[in-house]
Structure 1
Amino acid sequence: MNCQYKHEHSLEQRRFESERIRRRYPDRIPVIVQPSQSSSSSSSLLSTSLFRSFSSSSSSSSSLCNEVILSRLENEKFLVPSELSFGQFAYNIRRRLRLRSEQALFFYIGSDGKQPILSSTIAVLYHENKDIDGFLYVFYADEKVFG
């Protein structure tokens, strides 16, 4: 999966930051959470409004009927307690995105886009899926894009 954070920071910068975080907070997992580039924002669900932009700059696009804009989180970097389950983490992300309970949100982990088991702890997912830079990358989408 394509990650904007990786394009904005060099591998050395990302490694340095993740190592510094892991030394300073050994019981926390560094996680980057971003919208999936292959979600429905570029496909057939453009007419259904699952996500709304929180910025006022969307007034020019407000004339379009229910345009989907995958909102980005205010903070995309998280220090997650290692014993937290992915289900609890997903709940917090949904809450930060201000989604209603009937709105679907799918999560994918790592560059291969695996769907996490909600009962898995963040520590287990980190050890199985961490990137070479030391971060765990989590992507979210408003539709199931990988099967």
Structure 2
Amino acid sequence: MNFKFKETHTFEQRQQDSSKIKAKYPNRVPVVVERHRHSQIPDIDKHKFLVPDDVTVAQFMWIIRKRIDISSEKALFLFVEKNMPQTRYINRFTSRFTF
């Protein structure tokens, strides 16, 4: 998978941005959403989200579905660093990947 955000922002830039955001919004999780390059779903209009830390993965998936306007009959998969999250809350799977 190629991730445009990672290609256009260095690790240091991402780390610095994440630290600033977490200092300003301690109860939110910064999340970058990108579609897979081979995906047939429409691209999302917004790629950066500040998600409340008590939001479930299912709730976040609903938000994503609404933003890209796809029906519930179409499959939508969420991956975090090539893995599907095995937890209920956004803040639990992001803690492994935060700076």
TM-score of the superposed pair, with normalisation by structure 1 = 0.62
Deviations 1:84-122 (A, max 9, x none): 000100011011110011111111112xx11123x6111
CA displacement at 1:23 relative to structure 2:
0.3
Are positions 1:97 and 2:65 aligned together? no
CA displacement at 1:71 relative to structure 2:
2.1
CA displacement at 1:2 relative to structure 2:
2.4
SS in 1 for 2:79: strand
Alignment-derived partner of residue 2 in structure 1 = 2
TM-score of the superposed pair, with normalisation by structure 2 = 0.89
Alignment-derived partner of residue 26 in structure 2 = 26
Equivalent residues in 2 for 1:123-138, closer than 5 Å: 123-128=91-96, 130=97, 134=99
Q: 2:89 aligns with which of 114, 121, 124?
A: 121
Equivalent residues in 2 for 1:1-147, closer than 5 Å: 1-37=1-37, 39=38, 41=39, 68=40, 70-110=41-81, 113-117=82-86, 120-128=88-96, 130=97, 134=99
Runs of 4+ in 1 over 2 A off after TM superposition: none
Distance (whole Å) between structure 2 residues aligned to residue 71 and residue 5 of structure 1: 18
Higher relative contact order (CA 8 A, sep 6+): 1
Q: Which amino acid is the alignment partner of residue 66 of structure 2?
A: R
SS in 1 for 2:33: strand
Distance (whole Å) between structure 1 residues aligned to residue 60 and residue 76 of structure 2: 13
Aligned-CA RMSD value: 1.6
Unaligned runs of 5+ in 1: 42-67, 135-147
**Is the strand fraction higher in 1 or 2?**
1
Aligned residue pairs total 99
